[in-house]
Amino acid sequence: MPRPDQPRAARWLLATPLTCLDHADPHKTTAPAILSEEMYQSAFDAWQAACEDIYTQWTHQTDPANRAPPIPRAMREAAAFVAEHGAFLGADQETLRARLSAPTPKRA
């Protein structure tokens, strides 16, 4: 939901290139190239919003936490149990906890 204090261009954003090009197409070859001062200034707000959206999407998609496969709940709980109650394992406690916390391959 857009906030009223946001610049007008940041209120909605089309992220699909073909949709953006379709909206920019005048659909007439004889359409005059007139750009009002308000539209001209809004283009800078739109550019800023687009840059921020690109950066947000990039950081989300390149964050290793978002790229790692999810660890099943049972494995997370087992790792937490070993971390909390596995002191008697000695040096093997951390090895076991790390193995339980590691992503497991999907099996057919």
Q: Is the pLDDT of residue 39 over 90?
A: no
Measured N-to-C along each axis, helices 92-101 and 73-85 cross at an angle, to the nearest 10 degrees, of 160
The model carries a pTM of 0.47
* pLDDT per residue as tens digits for the range 46-88: 888 888 888 988 998 888 878 778 888 999 999 999 999 999 9
Q: Tell me which residue of 48, 56, 65, 36 sits closest to 8, measured CA to CA.
A: 48
Q: Would you list the domain boundaries of the chain? A: 38-68, 69-102
